């Protein structure tokens, strides 16, 4: 078989041409005329790219007009959840595992971690305290840590000391104890549900700044060593 004759453009004939699609009545389309089929494909591709670019700009403009912008993570954002503006620690007078008074003034001027725990807890409370311990190890120094009892009926000085020994936190935290009437102002200030037969306590910790303001909180399921360490640094601990 003889080879196909070259066209005027020096390209081989691509074979039979497809029958042109007729536009719907009243909707004429521009004709590309006697352009070579391969060049016609190139032109169509260029037009398609141009349309996509224009569409992208149009969509971006609409997005800006609606006030929706891509989310950006601030380099100074805190890992935990921000606490309500102006929330403080309340007014309380408790005693720790050694009988030493614990009041808001005990930590004044220092970034302090408040942990809501009970001494007979076998799961979430030890986890919280170990996360705190790891964050302070990463920080390279201790910060004041106050464990607030959520089970006054069963927490005693002896059980609090035993808990701290088991968690290797003796000398690194204080376990504040009291009766229900003494502890309720603290629970109320931090929005804490105490331990009861019907309900588990609010498993959370809160970082308070040197002015006694609640700054950031963590549910136990979202508390991490790295996140807490970063937040302590950002809050000037």
pLDDT of 169-213, one tens digit each?
Answer: 999 999 999 999 999 999 999 999 999 888 888 989 999 999 999
- Give the pLDDT confidence score for residue 203 in this predicted structure: 87
What's the angle, vertex CA 179, arms to CA 177 and CA 183, rounded to 5?
A: 70
- Give the pLDDT confidence score for residue 165 in this predicted structure: 98
> pTM of this prediction?
0.68
Instruction: Please tell me the distance from the alpha carbon of residue 211 to that of residue 126, in angstroms, as a whole number.
Output: 28
- Give the pLDDT confidence score for residue 25 in this predicted structure: 52
148, 183 Cβ separation under 8 angstroms = yes
The tens digit of pLDDT for each residue in 145-171 reads: 999 999 999 999 999 999 999 999 999
- Give the pLDDT confidence score for residue 7 in this predicted structure: 43
Query: What is the average per-residue pLDDT within 124-147?
Result: 97
Query: What is the average per-residue pLDDT within 46-62?
Result: 44
- Give the pLDDT confidence score for residue 70 in this predicted structure: 35
The tens digit of pLDDT for each residue in 82-114 reads: 999 999 999 999 999 999 999 999 999 999 999
- Give the pLDDT confidence score for residue 75 in this predicted structure: 44
Instruction: Please tell me the distance from the alpha carbon of residue 35 to that of residue 214, in angstroms, as a whole number.
Output: 73
Distances (CA, A) of 147 to 78, 163, 201: 22, 11, 13
Instruction: Please tell me the distance from the alpha carbon of residue 128 to that of residue 119, in angstroms, as a whole number.
Output: 12
The better pLDDT of the pair 26, 226 is held by: 226
Instruction: Please tell me the distance from the alpha carbon of residue 229 to that of residue 139, in angstroms, as a whole number.
Output: 6
- Give the pLDDT confidence score for residue 26 in this predicted structure: 52
Question: Percentage of the chain surpassing pLDDT 90?
Answer: 61
HSE at residue 71, side-chain half, CA atoms within 13 A, is 2
- Give the pLDDT confidence score for residue 237 in this predicted structure: 82
Query: What is the average per-residue pLDDT within 39-66?
Result: 44
The better pLDDT of the pair 58, 185 is held by: 185
């Amino acid at each position: 078989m003889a080879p196909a004759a070259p066209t005027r453009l020096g390209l081989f004939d691509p074979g039979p041409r497809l029958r042109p699609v007729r536009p719907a009545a009243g909707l004429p389309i521009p004709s590309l005329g006697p352009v070579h089929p391969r060049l016609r494909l190139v032109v169509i591709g260029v037009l398609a790219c141009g349309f996509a670019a224009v569409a992208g700009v149009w969509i971006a403009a609409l997005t800006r007009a609606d006030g929706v912008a891509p989310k950006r993570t601030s380099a100074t954002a805190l890992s935990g959840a921000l606490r309500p503006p102006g929330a403080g620690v309340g007014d309380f007078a408790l005693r720790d595992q050694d009988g030493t008074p614990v009041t808001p003034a005990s930590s004044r001027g220092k970034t302090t971690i408040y942990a809501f725990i009970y001494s007979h807890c076998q799961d979430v409370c030890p986890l919280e305290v170990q996360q705190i311990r790891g964050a302070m190890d990463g920080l390279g120094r201790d910060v004041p840590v106050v464990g607030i009892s959520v089970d006054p009926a069963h927490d005693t000085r002896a059980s609090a000391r035993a808990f701290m020994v088991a968690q290797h936190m003796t000398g690194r935290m204080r376990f504040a104890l009291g009766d229900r009437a003494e502890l309720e102002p603290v629970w109320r200030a931090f929005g804490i549900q105490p331990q009861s037969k019907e309900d588990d306590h609010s498993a959370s910790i809160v970082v308070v700044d040197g002015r006694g303001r609640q700054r950031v909180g963590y549910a136990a399921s979202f508390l991490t060593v790295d996140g807490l360490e970063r937040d302590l640094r950002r809050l000037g601990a």
